[in-house]
Amino acid sequence: MTRPARAMTGVVTGALLITTMGFGSSPAAAATSAATPTGLSFKGVSLKTRTAMVPKSKPTLLARARTMLQRNRIVKIAREQIGDKYVAGHTGPNAFDCSGLTSYVYTLATGKTIPRTSWTQYRSVSKVSRTKVMPGDLVFFFKRGVHHVGVYVGAGKMVHAARPKDGVEIANLADDWFSTHLSGFGRMLPAL
């Protein structure tokens, strides 16, 4: 067997492997060749460099997966703070005020700092409707301004720190006070 025949056999075998691993469309399509200025190439394989060129994942899928993991981490970290003390002006890790909790959770979950107060957080988010709110978004209260914030954790609930007697707790947004004082929802992370 001559050297070109071995190379051709290796390329076809490589193309079939790439196809069966889900990177190509069919064995026939993978073995289709075209002459290029850099040498003979097959779908995903170059004879000149002898390297397989695995298709890159779509950036949007990777970005969505990354965002989904960050959202899950935000919710997990927020829930882990339930039972901690409420202390005005505190940002954790064992005592929080409302915006101290949200800034702590976001920094720990995403590695990025967000504004410290509920009002500056409200100004820096993208506003979203109740129908589009997602776990990991922020929830703001007091209709004529923003004086309270919590982390939306799904199912109409949030984790927040409001009063010294209650500390960090989970609350239902349908409860009377929350439903009548809701300012809106805000998004720091992209939607999925």
Catalytically annotated residues: 98, 148, 160
Give bridge partners of residue 138 from the DSSP assignment.
151, 186
Look up residue 50 and give its DSSP letter.
Answer: T
> Rounded distance, CA 192 to CA 63, Å?
9
Which 3 state secondary structure label does DSSP give 162? coil
Look up residue 111 and give its DSSP letter.
Answer: S
Q: 34 near 43, Cβ under 8 Å?
A: no
Structure tokens at 84: 């901690």
Asked if the peptide bond before residue 135 counts as cis, ω within 30 degrees of 0, the response is no
Structure tokens at 160: 């927040």
> Rounded distance, CA 69 to CA 12, Å?
38
Which 3 state secondary structure label does DSSP give 91? strand
Note the Cα 183 to chain centre separation in Å. Answer: 24
